[in-house]
Chains A and B, each alone.
Chain A
Amino acid sequence: MDNATKRAYSLFAVIGGFTIGLLILIYSFIAHGSSWATNKANQHLYSNGTVSTFGDIYDRNDKALAVTVDGRRKYNSDSVIRKATLHAVGDLNGYISTGVQYTFRNTLAGYSPINGIASIVQYGKGNDVHLTLDAQVCRIAYNALNGRNGTVCAYNYYTGEILCMVSAPTYDPENKPTDIDNNPIYNGVYLNRAITGLYTPGSIFKVVTAVSAIENIPDINSRTYDCDGKYETSDGTVICNDIHNRVNFQQALNRSCNSAFADIALELGKSKLTETAKELGFNTKFSVNGVSDPSKSMFNVKKASKADLGWAGIGQYTTLVNPYHMMTIMGCIANDGIAVMPFLIDHIETPQGIKVPTKVSVSEDIHLAPATAKKIGEMLRSDITDYYGDGRFPNLQMCGKTGTAEIDDGQPHSWFVGYSQNQKTPYAIAVIVENGGTGLSAAAIIANTVMQAIK
């Protein structure tokens, strides 16, 4: 064997270099293929910058929300439904990054790494997406918001189907306002507040504090608290919304007594309260089918003083919550401590007519002991029956909690979170009306309107 022969083996290094390149290329196709194939410059999918072959989007009753007709994207014929479902359906340019038209653009385009976009060339269109939403309920929810900003989301806590998800401000995708970028009324119009919104919880956070108390203070039910309109700590004061005099644990939640809950928060301490918050999914990022990257609710009392901890216990301080997350916590309580994750996509239908349903999953990040769920459920039911009045929610056997979240400027945000115990209407709901005033005066009314509509 001569030298040239031996040296020929060095060419294996060239083959090696090529192989590495090929593997990187294959990896790039797997990692980026979907965004490449659905790029707007793809003439198979888009003509003149508009989608020509995207699949259709329907609500649960097969009402068309967005369809392709003659290469043009058309939305529902009712302008209110268009506005109400805008954030769930999304836009074609991806401004609404949580919308189905953006997050499921591969599916709508009919893209898969194996087949590319072959189904489009064969069938002329991509896959249809059927949502769990009820467009009519969304319409009613949007009207109930009555021009105010905020969000309404509701789901079936047994099955996980999201029936209502409305966010305002919104716009009509068929007539997109020309001043959308500079008119202040359209501030944050592309955000789906249900999914990416983060709000100060106010009193609805007392549910979390109460759960922590049930789990950690054995004789909590026999405790009483004296409220004189404020709660003094060594380094500051927590103000109460009223003078409640002597209340027990149940009454404290019913009347939303800040003094009692500040006292409970301080007794629990930072670590117990943080632990419960974590158990309920705070500081955790979810990834949910059809609902891309909801914002994570934040609870952090590491640097809190005593008064801060008191404020944190009643949902002020630095705590921020996500409406979608709060709705899921309600579902968790309603379903005996097991949170069925909400989802937006009911099924996907391929051009060949094959239906691919969403797999229902149970959250591992949000859970409660069944006994705890039962107890807090009773207390939430008592809120309605003993305090707000069952007549506000006829025939629903509603459980829930209002919140009035004080913010730095303007009217407080109005919250309502809750669920129906009625087996015929197994829905959990979260409503927030920005600058809407007290929880009872705005959000609770919308919650009832929407719950009655779902029924």
Chain B
Amino acid sequence: MTISEDKPFNWFPPLFLITLFQLISASFVVFDDGEFKYLTAATVMAYILVEWVYAIIASVAFEIRHLELELMGFFLSGIGIIICGSISESYAMKQGIAIGLGLIVYLIMLAILRRTDIVMKLRTPVAVCAVGILILNLVLAKTTNGTLNWIEIAGISIQPSEIVKIAFVFVGGATLDKLQMTKSITKYIIFAIACVGFLFLMRDFGTALVFFFTFVIIAFMRSGDIRTIALVCAIAVLGAAMVIFFKSTVAARFETYRHIWDDMYGKGMQQTRTLIYSASGGFFGLGIGKGMLKYTYAASTDLVFGMLCEEWGFIIAGTVVVTFAFFVYYAIKTARNTRSAFYAIVACAASGMLLFQMSLNVFGVTDLLPFTGVTLPFISRGGTSMLCSWGMLAFIKSADIHTYPKLSKTILPDHPLYPEDIPISFKRRRNVNG
């Protein structure tokens, strides 16, 4: 096994361009209506500061030279802040705090994922906690918008299923008795069924679908058994079809699918407005803050892709969605060269989840897929969604051997997750230069 030469990645020019992009787009919001919006301006400036501090510390103190993933995350999250700012200053501030928390979650996870012995110890408690959170959610939840997936603690709304997403990938990657045996899936299947089942009970079908898709990726990565996976999918599709057929409340959610224009002042309201205003934006957009879609319900959460198209233009909206495909591409590239299968699995699962959820959101609001109300990762307004997005990024990042340049000194070679035949041949450029 060979490891390709580490090509140096100079993060300075891209981060400079991203900063420029953020300053320009923020200026539309901050100076709009002739009044200077201090809170939004402060949030954006603080955010840009965090970007630079992170990049400098990561590259200088930790010798992490590959910052592509973080830069993509910064690019997407920055758009999210400015979209929030174009609606309300407090939204921008809250979103800024959410990104800060997301970064903290990201760093903590990177620290945990560095040590697979800790990962192995944590997998059972995490699985129990995840199921526990979902049960607690179901007990405490109040009905919001037809789903039960929000709980409120001390005046802050939390979407527990977003946090459970991180646990789902974590447990999926770590529940290994022996590497890549079909039977080792069993435990994970039980965990997966529990998660998806509770989400169904919460009537959060979008998230259930995201979980199921992630499960399929993990199960395939683990077993490689296409026939079993096909069977699982067939049973799931059949089951879902029966649920939709027998439960009228479920069917009602899908009845507008491909018929949104028949009920454009009722159930098709959100999607028709998304299409109307997205088309209005053209390639270059009508200008940030100049849109009309923002007055539609859930504009900055579910319909945020429409706001992007209308105000920022299809070029930027397209760049955003393509960025998610790059996450997956990065994971595939990284999986060639991980320290163990664990990292390949979590990187693929996390990136696949991000791309799938983004697709479900974007194609859902544009009526190519049923509208399920999942968020657009990194962009949609919302704290827990942001934590989950950065958590997913941590999984992809941890798989990259460049993330832990000093790991060879602290590795625990006797642990089963580190087969000795996989070398860690990461070459530190610093040493080359003396």
Contacts and interface: CB of A to CB of B under 8 A. Distances in A.
Interface stretch (A2-10, A244-252, A265-273, A371-379): A2-10
Interface in B256-295: 264-265, 272-273, 275-287, 290, 292, 295
B275 A7 contact: no
A18 B180 contact: no
A407 interface: no
B341 A121 contact: no
B210 interface: no
Interface string B308-326: 0010011000100110110
B30 interface: no
Nearest to B333: A8
Specify the main secondary structure of chain A where it touches its partner. Answer: helix
A10 B363 contact: no
A42 B276 contact: yes
Contact of A22 (B277, B321, B356): B321
A36 B276 contact: yes
Interface string A51-89: 000000000000000000000000000000000000000
Interface in A72-128: 111-118, 121
Given A9-B332, A39-B272, A117-B286, A4 B344 contact: yes
A115 B359 contact: no
A37 B359 contact: no
Interface in A1-33: 1-5, 7-12, 14-15, 17-19, 21-22, 24-26, 28-29, 32-33
Contacts, number: 139
B342 to A, nearest CB: 9
Contacts of A318: none
A43 interface: yes
Contacts of A7: 220-221, 224, 344, 348
B264 A14 contact: no
Interface string A287-311: 0000000000000000000000000
B217 interface: yes
A116 B280 contact: yes
B131 interface: no
Nearest to A8: B335
B282 A118 contact: yes
Contacts of A44: 277, 280, 286, 292
B355 A15 contact: yes
Nearest to B314: A29
A453 interface: no
Specify the main secondary structure of chain B where it touches its partner. Answer: helix
Contact of B328 (A15, A33, A36): A15
A41 B279 contact: no
Interface in A300-343: none
Most-contacted residue by chain A among B180, B285, B345, B348 (CB, 10 A): B348
B39 to A, nearest CB: 26
Given A18-B355, A112-B282, A121 B272 contact: no
A174 B325 CA distance: 54
A3 B325 CA distance: 23
Contacts of B345: 4
What band does the interface of chain B fall in when counting residues whose beta carbon is under 8 Å from A? Answer: 35 or more
Given A28-B368, A42-B276, A8 B220 contact: no
Contacts of A10: 220
Contact of A37 (B265, B280, B355): B280
Given A29-B278, A116-B279, A116-B282, A8 B336 contact: yes
A33 B279 contact: yes
Nearest to A115: B282
A34 interface: yes
B278 A36 contact: yes
Contacts of A43: 292, 295
B278 A5 contact: no
A15 B325 contact: yes
Contact of A19 (B281, B325, B341, B347): B325
B352 A11 contact: yes
Contacts of A41: 264-265, 272-273, 276
B272 A14 contact: no
Contact of A36 (B220, B222, B275, B285): B275
Contacts of B36: none
Interface in A195-242: none
A29 B317 CA distance: 13
A114 B282 contact: yes
B329 interface: yes
A419 B336 CA distance: 79
B338 interface: yes
Given A41-B272, A116-B280, A121 B287 contact: yes
Interface in A112-162: 112-118, 121
Contacts of B324: 18
A21 B368 contact: yes
A11 B368 contact: no
A113 B280 CA distance: 9
B366 A25 contact: yes
Contact of B335 (A5, A37, A39): A5
A317 B219 CA distance: 73
A114 B283 contact: yes
B98 interface: no
A2 B343 CA distance: 12
Contacts of A118: 281-282, 284-286
Given A29-B314, A37-B279, A112-B282, A3 B180 contact: yes
Nearest to B273: A41
Contacts of A112: 282
Nearest to B293: A43
Nearest to A34: B279
A118 B286 CA distance: 5
B424 to A, nearest CB: 15
B281 A15 contact: no
Interface in B220-271: 220-222, 224, 264-265
Contacts of A17: 359
Given A37-B279, A42-B280, A112-B282, A11 B332 contact: yes
Contacts of B422: 2
Given A42-B276, A112-B282, A11 B325 contact: no
Given A9-B332, A114-B282, A115-B283, A18 B276 contact: no
B351 interface: yes
Given A28-B368, A42-B276, A116-B282, 18 more contacts: A4-B338, A4-B344, A5-B344, A11-B328, A11-B351, A18-B321, A19-B325, A21-B368, A21-B369, A25-B366, A26-B318, A37-B276, A37-B280, A39-B276, A116-B281, A116-B310, A117-B280, A117-B282
The 5 A-B pairs of least Cβ separation, nearest first, read A116-B282, A8-B335, A37-B279, A36-B279, A33-B279
25 contacts: A1-B1, A3-B180, A4-B221, A5-B338, A7-B348, A8-B331, A8-B344, A14-B356, A15-B325, A15-B329, A18-B355, A18-B359, A22-B321, A32-B275, A32-B279, A34-B279, A37-B276, A37-B279, A37-B280, A39-B272, A41-B273, A42-B280, A43-B292, A115-B283, A116-B285
